[in-house]
Amino acid sequence: MARFIILIAVAGIALIFWHKISKAKGAERKKMILWGIISGVLAVLGLLAVTGHLNIITAMIAGAVALLPRAMQLAKYLPFISRLYQQHGQQQAQNSQQGSQSANGKNSMSVEQAREVLGLKPDCSKEDIILAHRRMMQKVHPDRGGSDFLASQINTAKDVLLG
């Protein structure tokens, strides 16, 4: 019964506080919200201390303080991680674009572009094309950690040049 009375009292205080916040304007409203949050946190901590459950909160705070230096060290990698996500998204877009091109059966690569991809001069022979293709594929093959998109571009370049 005592818990029920305390619950009703807390709900009543919260409603009164809500009414006062809704009537306040601008800076006064921000100040009231800040003090309401601080008062609520202190009330919860006081209730936990009275009931003997404060040790859980103390352990969580101690753990957070202990992990804070490690988190600060890891925070310097956030720009690197965001760049990785962007590159991954771009690579997926390129792969889906390549898949749609191959599904259409169209070669959108010109002979000049194919020579640039393989690094060949205009007067190259069939053997030069095959050697350049083999050399490039050894560098960018997906089984060796390379890109599917680059491997498909190199294969397309070889197909365009060899006809």
Q: Are residues 111 and 56 in the same domain?
A: no
Helices (H), the chain: 2-23, 26-51, 54-75, 78-104, 111-118, 126-140, 148-162
Summary mean pLDDT of the chain: 83
Q: What is the CATH number of the domain that holds 132?
A: 1.10.287.110
User: How far, in Å, CA of 121 to CA of 124, rounded?
Assistant: 6
Q: What is the pLDDT of residue 77?
A: 74
Q: What is the pLDDT of residue 105?
A: 47
What pLDDT band is residue 104 in, cutting at 50, 70 and 90?
Answer: very low
Tell which of 50, 75, 100 closes a domain: 75
- How many domains is the chain built from? 2
pTM of this prediction? 0.36
pLDDT digits (tens, 9 = 90+) for 51-89: 888 888 788 889 989 998 888 777 777 777 777 777 777
Tell me if 82 is assigned to some domain: no
Tell me if 117 is assigned to some domain: yes
User: How far, in Å, CA of 7 to CA of 99, rounded?
Assistant: 61
Q: Retrieve residue 116's tokens.
A: 């640039």
Tell me if 80 is assigned to some domain: no
Q: In terms of residue numbers, what domain contains 97?
A: 91-162
Tell which of 75, 108, 136 closes a domain: 75
